[in-house]
Structures are given as structure tokens and as C-alpha cells.
Amino acid sequence: MQQVDLRSDTVTLPSPTMREAMYRAELGDDVMGEDPTINRLEMMSAERMGKEAALFVASGTMGNLTALLTHCQRGHEAIMGNLSHTFLFEAGGSAALGGIHPRTLPNQPDGTLWLEDIEAAIRPENPHHPRTRLVCLENTHNRCGGAVLTPEYTDSVGELAHRHGLAVHLDGARVFNAAVALGVEVRDLTRSVDSVQFCLSKGLSAPVGSMLCGTRAFIAEARRWRKMLGGGMRQAGVLAAAGIEALDNMVDRMADDHANARRLAEGLADMPGFAVNLASVQTNIVIWNLTTDRATPQEVAKRLRAQGVKISAIGGGQFRAVTHYGVEAGDIDRAVAVTRQVMGQLS
């Protein structure tokens, strides 16, 4: 049976050119700074983000955790959204491993945090309070349906944070999706932040890895934290080669993913039992609601899976589907047809 896997863009497989690049990669010991392919990827990533330096890490979670551990000391506080990936889906690592106190603010439907909320959350100097040191943003915003933060908004958060002596970290796991959707250079979205993490293994379609970018001093300290977290991977150039290929050739094609997400959302919108907000579909993520009580989201997802269509039931009566490399318009049409059949059986 033909499978259409829309659970996440983490399920992408490397392109043939990535596999070839991995096979031919020059290798050395990265912990000793001697892997030429890692070094090239780090220089490319820093340049793309408009930063001085970059560090290859095993995952987006490791990248975000390394950033928080570098910016903050034990007992410090980091402001972040209540729907942020760092808060919801990274196992509480910053608190468990770094003693960093998360201060959550409401994410708005467009993924932003209100500036007034951020300013009000900054603690005064007082021995009763943790010290506020960091503001965390997410672009695109996963749980807000792939919502895009604009350069202007990010600049305004950066100005506010820096005026109060705080740093800004951007979880940019899908920041290239945001740049493509807005038609801007990715560095326009990172110019006002002190550090940014982006994933190679989502829309960029590489098999493993993320990049953490910032100043040279920040990355030098982050490298120490990466070692402490077990992230020194030695001849990791075999992975970095795929990342280089991704940066060179997999960014512009994200527009196809966005078009396919829109195609999917429009196909779902007129089905009985669903409510889809088409205006919220900006990039490659579609989140929609189940409005019938004839089945649970988990039961619907199970029926779809049995017909070869994989989506995620994410709680709160909602589903999520993510388009990515390897999913074409014809696959979307098949997913829509199967879903229509399943939902028709429930009406």
C-alpha cells in the first residue's frame, strides 16, 4: 500500500545527492576541531544566519538546551511561550539539567508574545526573585500551526530585551520555512537575536543534526556545554555533508511544501466533521479540529493509517499534518481522498 506520511517533516529521507555527499565526505576529529566538513558547515551556517560562529549539535533539543545553558546560570529565569517547543516538548531539560526557571507567557495565535507581557515579566532586582536573563522565541511556531514571526516583530523583541540587559534566543528549527514564506533572507529573521538554533533534519531534509549560531565567545562556551551533554561526535562530517547539501539545494524547494500544505488544508476544509482555519496555514504545517463526536481524533488517525495516510492526533480535539520533501501534490490528493472517505463513513 502506498504510504503518505504527514506526521512530521522529521520523517524525511536524505536525497540521492545527500547520500553521495555523505559517502565522499572528508572526515576528521570534530572534538579536536579537525573535521573539515564540519568546519565548512559551521562557517556556512554562521554566514547564513549573520552570526560570527556556529556549532553542529545532534538535535534541535540539544541546540536549544545548549543555548539556554550558555545564556543562563542556575536560578536564572528564561521567558518563553506557553506553547513553545522548548517548554512543551524538550523534557524539561533546562530546568532539570540547568536549574533554569521557565517563565511562560501566552502565545498568541500568530506565535508571538505580546511585548507588554514580556516587559511585565522581567523581574526587578530582588533576592526573592529569580533573575531574568533570556527571552526565547520560536519561528516558525510549531503549535501555532507553522506561524511565521516577521523581521519587524523579532526586531522589536530584540530591542526590548536588550534595553533591559537580556539576551534573545530563537528556536528557529524551521526558520528557513519562515524566510521562504515571507520572501526575505533568513538573516533578516535572526539579525536581532543573540543566538539561533535551526534544524537540518526537518524541512531541509538532512538525516541528523542542528546548528547553533551566535558570537564567537558564545559558541566557544556552547562548545563546552555540548561536550558536557555528550554531543562531541568525532567524525561527524559524514552527517555534516548532508547538511551542506541541504543548505545549498533544499531551501528554495520549501515553497513546494507550503503549496502542498495549502492544497491539503483546502481539501480538508469542506469535509464534514472538520474545522480548518485556512488563514492560519502559512508554511508547511496544518492544524485542524475535529467537530464530530462520532469518533475521537485518535480513532480517525487510526482509520487513516490503515488506509496508508499517517497524520498526528495532538490533543485538544486537533490533528496536525506536515508537508515535506518526498511528499508531492499527488500524495496530497490521495491523502485528501482517503480522508474524505473515512470522514464520510462517520457522518
Judgement on whether residues 73 and 140 belong to the same structural domain of the protein: yes
Cell reading at 146: 507553522
Same domain, 25 and 137: yes
Q: What's the confidence (pLDDT) of residue 235?
A: 96
Residues forming a β-bridge with 105: 81
- 259 shares a domain with 329: yes
Q: Are residues 234 and 268 in the same domain?
A: no
* Domain shared by 244 and 258, yes or no: no
Weakly modelled stretches of the chain, pLDDT under 50 = none
The burial of 301, by beta-carbon neighbours within 10 Å (0-12 exposed, 13-18 middle, 19 or more buried), is given as buried
CA 49 to chain centre: 15
71 found inside a domain: yes
Domain holding 327, by residue range, is: 253-346
pLDDT of residue 2: 83
Give the domain CATH number at 127. Answer: 3.40.640.10
3-state SS class at 10 = helix
**How many other CB atoms are found less than 10 A from the CB of residue 129?**
12
Q: pTM, whole model, 2 decimals? A: 0.97
Is there a single domain that holds both residue 150 and residue 261? no
Q: Is 27 exposed, middle or buried (0-12, 13-18, 19+ CB in 10 A)?
A: middle
- The answer to whether position 1 is within a domain reads no
Question: Which of 195, 217, 249 marks a domain boundary?
Answer: 249
pLDDT of residue 252: 97
Indicate the average pLDDT of the chain: 97
How does pLDDT run across 275-327, given as a tens digit for each residue?
999 999 999 999 999 999 999 999 999 999 999 999 999 999 999 999 999 99
pLDDT confidence of residue 79: 98
Look at residue 66 in the predicted model and tell me its pLDDT: 98
- Is 39 in the same domain as 69? yes
Same domain, 103 and 118: yes
How many domains does one find in the chain?
A: 2
Instruction: Summarize pLDDT for 31-69 with one digit per residue, the tens.
Output: 999 999 999 999 999 999 999 999 999 999 999 999 999
What's the pLDDT at 345? 87
Q: Which residues of 153-175 are buried (b: 16+ CB within 10 A; e: fewer)?
A: bbeebbebbeeeebbbbbbbbbb
Q: Which pLDDT belongs to residue 100?
A: 98
Backbone angles phi and psi of 77, in degrees to 5: -120, 140
Residues 158 and 132 in one domain: yes
Co-location of 219 and 121 in the same domain = yes
